[in-house]
Structure formats: structure tokens, C-alpha cells
Structure 1
Amino acid sequence: MLHISALEKLVHEMSRLPGIGPKTAQRLAYFILKSENEFPERLSEALLRVRAEVHDCPRCFNFTDADICRYCEEPHRSDESICVVEEPADIMRIESSGAFRGRYHVLHGAISPLEGIGPKDLKIQELLDRVNNGIDGDGPTIKEIILALDADLEGDTTILYLTKQLQGKGLKLSRIAHGVPIGSDIDFIDDRTMGRALQNRVEL
């Protein structure tokens, strides 16, 4: 690669994206450099726009550009069940299965002591507040929490922590069944497997 400071900076930033290694980052950078004149401007505008307009939903912490996200706003969904996921992208995988019609809660990660991520770094307290608001306040009564987290060490650690925090609140606690392969990410699961995992969830 030529020692061009601006190009090296672009490759470096591209390589920070998930799943993008140095060679792929270099190919992307060369594509942008050789593309039509309008493409870099459109890409830059799209990045700035999504940064300015997209924010966390104040209820479930999914991404949205409105006051609340479409899943919190939809009136025909059940308020009695909440499906807890790690990332906003996981919601689309569950929605495509058509097996769940309740509400969502996004943690924005999983507990990972090796990476210095603890419960306070996630939207766990906000989940507990939603549950407690239904028990002690005037919020909707929540009857079931479905934990749809990745089937890896971090996901299991987070599920154990949430189970301890939510026990004794009169809730049905369940996690998606192990139709999801151990060690895989939820966003790589096909629709049929996701639907079956939700339908065959196991009570904790």
C-alpha cells in the first residue's frame, strides 16, 4: 500500500468496523477512492445523517429516528411479555420469525468481565425499572421476560445475572431454546430456527 496519510487513515478507520479485516478495509478504501465523484459525498452525508437523526428509544433502547420506536408505538403488541436482546439488530432477526408479538428491551451488549463490561454498562437497571413500574407503579403489568441472548459465555453470564435480579417478582422467566447453536451470534440464525427457538423456549 502506498504511504499516503489520508488513505492510510481511511483504511485504519474501515478496519475498526466489525468483521472488517485489514485487507477488506483496504479494498473498501480503494473502492471509495476510485468511485464516482458523488459517492464519497453521499456516504459522508449518510454517516452524518444517521449520527444526527438516529437515537435510542427511551422505552426499549432500540434505534429509532422518532420519539419512540415502532415496536413500542404499535398498539396491537402485548405489554405482558418483554423479549430482552443484546443489540438492536437482534430485533429484526426475531421479527422475521413472526413468533413474537410482545415488546422488546435492548441491553446494548452483554456482561463481559474480560472486556470490562459490567451490569452498570448495560441497560439492565432500565429493564428492572420497567418491571418494577408495572408492579409498584402505574405501568403495564409484565408477566413474562424472554431472554434472547447469544448462546455464548457472555450471553450465559448475562442471563444468570438477570435471572437473579428478576426472581421473586412473580414473573415467568424463559430463554430461547437451544435450537440456536452454542457459540453462534443471534444475527446469523435463519428464520425457521429462530421461530422454533422462541416457540420452544425453556422456563428458568
Structure 2
Amino acid sequence: MLHISALEKLTHELSRLPGIGPKTAQRLAYFILRAENQYPERLSEALLRVKAEVHDCPQCFNYTDTELCRYCDDIHRSDESICVVEEPADIMRIESSGAFRGRYHVLHGSISPLEGIGPKELRIQELIDRIDDGLEGRGPVIKEVILALDADLEGDTTILYLAKHLQGKGLKLSRIAHGVPIGSDIDFIDDRTMGRALQNRVEL
């Protein structure tokens, strides 16, 4: 890259985005530089606007630009079940299946001691408070909690922590099944996925 301070700064900031490596960041920086004059202004405006207008939903901690997010504000959804996810983007993946019509709770991450992320850095206490409020008559009674977290070490650690702290509250507690994807060839399934598939087998 040419040693141009402004271009290097833009490339550096773009490379900090998830999934964007140095070469991709450089291509994006050159694209922005070559784009029509109005594009950088529109991009800047969009970035500033999203930071100014989008905030956490005070109930489930999904992203929203209104008082409550669309899922908390929907009177047609069931209050008896909560699906717990790591990130707001996970909600869209679950919604696209059409299989869940309850409420959500976003943790904004998972427990990862190596990265210095413990339970206090996540929205775990708020989840416990939502459940306790229902038990004590201050809110809807929650009967089921579905843990839709990633099938990795951090996700498993978070699930174990939640299971420990949610026991004894009269809940049906479950986690989403993990295993062989539909349409995949069993020859290409890794050992961990195969193990999960066997653990989550269903009776015919």
C-alpha cells in the first residue's frame, strides 16, 4: 500500500471488523476511495446514525430503535418460553425457521475465561431476574428456557453455568440439538459433530 496516512488509517479500522483480513480491508479502503463523492458521506452518516439510534431492548437485550424490540412488543408471541441466544443476529436465524413463537433473551456473548469474559460481563443475571419476576408475580410466568448457544467450548461452559443457576425454578430446560446437517454426507462429518448426533438421536 502507498504510505498515505489517511488510507492506512481507514484500512486499519476496516481490518478490525470481524472476518475482515488485511487484504480485504485494503480492497474495501480502495473501493471507498474510488467511489462517487456522496458514498463516503452516506457511509459515515449510516455509521453515526446506527450508533445514535440503535440500542439494547430493555427486556430481552436484542437491538432495536424503538422502546421495545419487535419480538418483545408482539402480543401474539408466547410469554411461557424464552429462547436464550448469544448474539442478536442469532434471533434472525431462529426466526427464519418459523419453529419458535416465544420470547428471546440475548446474552451478548458467552463465558470465555481466556478472553476475560465471565458471567458478570453477560446478560445472565437479567435472565435470572426475568424468571424470578414470573415466579414472584411481577411478570409473566416462564415455563421453558431453550438454550440456543454455539456448540463450542464457550457455549458449553455457558450452558453448564446457566443450567446450574436455573435448577430448582420449576423450568423445562433444554438446548437445541446439534448433529448431522440435513443433506450432508456422513463421510465428511467430524468426530465432535457425530458424537453430538448420536447423543441427540431420536426414537422412530
TM class by smaller structure: 0.7 to 0.9
State the identity as a percent.
Answer: 84
1:64 aligns to what? 64
Render the CA deviation track for 1:67-124: whole Å, top value 9, x for unaligned: 0000000001000000000000000000000000000000000000000000000000
| Structure 1: segments with no counterpart, 5+ residues | 182-196
Correspondence 1:23-172 to 2 at 5 A = 23-172=23-172
1:125–1:177 CA distance, 2 compared to 1 (3 A): same
TM-score by length of 2: 0.88
- Structure 1 stretches of 4+ with a deviation exceeding 4 A read none
For the residues of structure 2 that align with 1:174 and 1:201, how far apart are their CA atoms?
15
The number of aligned residues is 185
Q: Distance in 2 between matches of 1:65 and 1:180?
A: 37
Relative to the length of structure 1, the TM-score reads: 0.88
User: How far apart in 1 are the matches of 2:89 and 2:4?
Assistant: 35
- AA aligned opposite 1:145: V
For 1:179, the equivalent position in structure 2 comes to: 179
Distance 1:11 1:45, change over 3 A: same
**Residues 201/74 of structure 1: CA separation in 2 closer, same or farther (3 Å cut):** farther
Higher relative contact order (CA 8 A, sep 6+): 1
Q: Is the 8 A contact 1:81 1:103 kept in 2?
A: yes
Q: Extract unaligned runs of 5+ from structure 2.
A: 182-196
Q: CA RMSD in A?
A: 1.6
